[in-house]
Structure 1
Amino acid sequence: MADPAYRRKISRQLNKGESLHALKRDLLYAHEGTIRARHLEQQTEQAWCLTLVTNAVVTFTTGYYGLAVESMRRTGRRIDEEVLAHISPAHSENIDFFGAIDVDIEGDIEGDLAQLGPTGYRPLRVSDTLV
């Protein structure tokens, strides 16, 4: 515990774990972050659903982080791999928990696909926050 570099490494890992727990709490907002099912089987189902949704959010965010880093590098920005090692995609700022999701099975799929960029993702919202 006397090694400062080791303490920083452990602290970063704890912070990443805490951000993942915070994301799960945010995703489970309807029950105020608690599992309220009475039977073990129902509790297990709820936990697995939470895990599935959490993994989907982290995967989605990771994909867009990759696109953002690639876009920034194309514009000439230098992004250190050491800095990227400390970024965690476990956050919920990009999620609208109170919005409605409309699924139109018979809708205009071609129109929806036309809104996607050449990468197959929605275009990045670029704001020049880094100087």
Structure 2
Amino acid sequence: MPVEYLSAEQEARYGRFATEPSPGELEQFFRLDTRALELARAKRRSATRLGWAVQWGTVRMLGTFLTEDPTAVPASVVRFVAEQLGLDDKHFAEYGTRAQTVYEHAWEIRDTYGYRDFAAGEAELREFLAARVWSSLEGPRALFDRAVVWLVNNRVLLPGVTSLARMVAALRQEENDRLHAALYEVVPHELRTEMVRLLEVPEKKRVSELERLRLGPMRVSGRAMELALDRAREVWGLGPAWWMPDGCRPRG
């Protein structure tokens, strides 16, 4: 499935700090609670205390651990966390010199706070996105953003950006196909035939009948109102009453 639908901004911010976090985001994601403070302070070295705490906030905000480059974090984040631990933020530069420590911290945070791999939460995410497809007109970009927010909020670790983009695009196509098939089944055969006819461009005309009916009046006048009413009667004549609730159908 194509993944080119993602914007440059979406790709840039996926699983990384594209900009400096706002003061509100620092408070929301990097304010250490009692448990996090205890776990961070239990580390032996200043660098590992600070690094553990930064990783804790990072996964809360981004939905992933920066294990490949654990120091790729804005300076404002490091300062904010260091102040809470009573440490000099310069110690953070030493974090990651032992890669195993970084991974051990990620595993500890994951197990302690109940983070799951993407495979463990994918079915729930698909159910959530399918409901969005059926109840909204959101495009793939909006669905992708909703998927990221859902993963972060439900403590499911982000997969690769291409994997998630392809999954969202494929699911949206599948659910739209199901939706269209369901609508097709309940539409009477006569109405289906008439709808197909509307796609044809009559002889000596420039647009199809569907396009003609779709366009509303271009000016405000008595004649335009008359034409609009004729157009409404013509649309109603196609037989839309089969899908309307009884209370919405016109009388007479």
TM class by shorter chain equals: 0.3 to 0.5
Q: With structure 1 as the length reference, what TM-score do the two structures score?
A: 0.36
Q: With structure 2 as the length reference, what TM-score do the two structures score?
A: 0.22
Q: If each structure's helix is expressed as a fraction of its own residues, which one has the higher value? A: 2
Which protein, 1 or 2, shows the higher relative CO under an 8 Å CA cutoff with sep ≥ 6?
1
